[in-house]
Amino acid sequence: MKKLFLTTRIAVFILICSTGMQAQTTQTKLSQLELIKQFIGTWQSNVGKDSVDVREWLNYGNAFLMNQYKLVKGQKGSEGICNIGFDSEEGNFKGFKIGLDGHYVDWIGLFTSEKIFTIYGTKNFKTGPYGKYTFTFESPNIYTTTNYNKDGIVIWVHKFTKVQ
C-alpha cells in the first residue's frame, strides 16, 4: 500500500510539473546562400541631383561579386568592386570592397530574416566600433539600404530598384 501511495504521489507530481513545461520552438535556420541570390542583377538608386548609384551583383560559384559605380550626369564616376564569400563555419558572409584609389573596407554580414541582410563594418575582419548597413527587401525588385554610424544613428537611406 505504501509503495502504491508513493508511486501515485510521484506520478501526480510529474503530471503537475509537466503541465507548466513547454517545448522549445524550433527556429528554421535561414539558407544564407539561397537568400543572397536575391541580389543577383543590376540595381540603381537615385542618390542626388543627376547622380545614380549602380550595383551589379554577380554569382561566382558559391561566391558573389558586386561592381559598384556612380553615374554623374551620365558619366561614370567612382567605382568599386566587392568580393563576397560565405564562411560555413561561422555561418556568415565576409566581404571586401576596394576602390580604384586603393581604399578598402571589409565587413561581416548575414541574413537576419528572409528579407533583411545586415552587414557590420570591420577592420581586417575583426569587429570593432564601426557602422552597419541593413538591406531590406520590400519586393523582389526593390530593396532599401540604410547606413548607420558606429553610434547607431542613420547616416543615409537609399532605395534600389532592379533594372536587369
Mean pLDDT value across residues 30-45? 96
15 neighbors 7 (Cβ within 8 angstroms): no
Residue 60 lies in a domain: yes
The boundaries of the domain holding residue 74 are: 32-162
pLDDT band at 3 (very low <50, low <70, confident <90, very high): low
- Within a domain: 61: yes
- The average pLDDT across 130-140 equals 96
> Angle 101-59-30 (CA atoms, 0-180°, nearest 5)?
110
Does a structural domain hold residue 3?
Answer: no
CATH number at residue 53: 2.40.128.20
In-domain check, residue 101: yes
Does residue 43 lie within any of the structural domains? yes
Give a yes or no: residue 14 inside a domain: no
Least confident of 51-55, 58-62, 125-129: 125-129
> What is the number of structural domains in the chain?
1
128 pLDDT band, cuts 50/70/90, is: confident
Query: What's the whole-number mean pLDDT along residues 104-118?
Result: 96
Q: What is the DSSP string of the chain?
A: -HHHHHHHHHHHHHHHHHHT--PPPPPPPP-HHHHGGGG-EEEEEEEETTEEEEEEEEEETTEEEEEEEEEETTEEEEEEEEEEEEETTTTEEEEEEEETTS-EEEEEEEESSSSEEEEEEEBTTB--S--EEEEEEEETTEEEEEEE-TTS-EEEEEEEEE--
pLDDT digits (tens, 9 = 90+) for 73-101: 989 988 999 999 999 999 999 999 999 99
* Residue 105 clears pLDDT 50, i.e. is over it: yes
pTM: 0.79
Does 21 map to a domain?
no
Q: Which residues contact residue 124 at a Cβ distance below 8 angstroms, ignoring those fewer than 6 apart?
A: 106
pLDDT band of 18, cuts 50, 70, 90:
very low
Lowest mean pLDDT among 13-22, 83-92, 100-109: 13-22
Asked if residue 8 belongs to a domain, the reply is no
Residue 19 predicted with pLDDT over 90: no
* pLDDT value of position 2: 56
Q: In whole angstroms, give the CA distance from residue 86 to residue 93.
A: 4
In this prediction, residue 118 carries a pLDDT of 97
